[in-house]
Each structure stands twice: as structure tokens, then as C-alpha cells.
Amino acid sequence: MMSIEGLILQPGEARGISATAERATGCSMFELSVAPGFDTGAHYHTRIEEFFFVLEGELNLRVGARVVRAGPGTFMFVPIGAVHSYGNPGPNAARVLFLTSPPGFERYFVEISELLAKGGRPDPEAIAALRRKHDIAQV
């Protein structure tokens, strides 16, 4: 019988974004920390659906025309093609359990973090190229 390996990560082992995309075939799930003042801006995906569950803090969540101030326990589903955004208007970081299907979207967060870690003013062309690469269409 063939052995199939899963993945167990204890607290602190994920180092921010876990790499479930190499193992999962249906979806990726990871925890996302949203810094104060951060806002994605309105966007949509042509191949990705997303599920958000607020764990800590507050976010402004938008899907379609609906916008809510979301605290812990708030859930948002974003179907393919739906315009949506999330932002943190508060003074503290917020934590979100984030699920995407198909898997692999967590790579965007790794790559954008690396791009922003270079310091200085972010290159708008590089950010736009990264968004296109990861199926993010800004509105």
C-alpha cells in the first residue's frame, strides 16, 4: 500500500504563509496578518474563489455592493468574478483564516512580501506584473 503524507503544522511552524499548494489539490488554507492601514483595493479573480474568516481585530470587508465592518467570527465568501476588497482601518493588526481554491494563491503573499522587503518606494510595474501573474484584476 502506498503511503500518502499529509501536513501538520504546530503554532509557529508555518512562518507566516504555509506552503500547502505543493500538497493540496483542491484548496489552500493559511492565516493572514493584515497590517493597520492596509487595503487591497477593489479587485476580482477569474480563476480563484476565496473564503475569509476573521480571527482577531477588525476589517472592512467588501463583496459586490455589500461592505461591512467585520470582527472576529465574520465570514466572507468571494465567488470567481466577484469584485471584493479587504482593509484594516484599525490601529492593530487583524488576523484572518484564508482559504483559496484552487490552491497556490498563498504564493502571491510570499512574493509581494519579498518585493516590498526590498525597501524604498515599491515599483508599480513590478506590483502590477505580480498581480497579473496571480490572477488579480484591480478595478
Convert the pLDDT of each residue in 39-77 to its tens digit.
999 999 999 999 999 999 999 999 999 999 999 999 999
Mean pLDDT of 119-124: 86
Question: 459586490: which residue's cell?
Answer: 64
Mean pLDDT, residues 103-118: 88
Using 50, 70 and 90 to split pLDDT, how confident is the model at 86?
A: very high
To the nearest whole number, what is the mean pLDDT of the chain? 88
Question: Does residue 19 carry a pLDDT above 60?
Answer: no
| Whether the predicted pLDDT of 13 surpasses 80 | no
Q: Please name the fold of domain 28-138.
A: Jelly Rolls (2.60.120)
Find the largest Cα–Cα distance for the chain. Answer: 54
Return the residue matching grid coordinates 476565496. 50
* C-alpha span between 37 and 4 (Å, rounded): 42
String of b and e for 105-136 (b: at least 16 CB within 10 Å)? bbbbbeebeeeeeeeeeeeeeeeeebeeebbb
Mean pLDDT (whole number) for 16-22: 56
* Sequence ranges of the domains in the chain: 28-138
Each residue's pLDDT tens digit, 112-121: 888 888 888 8
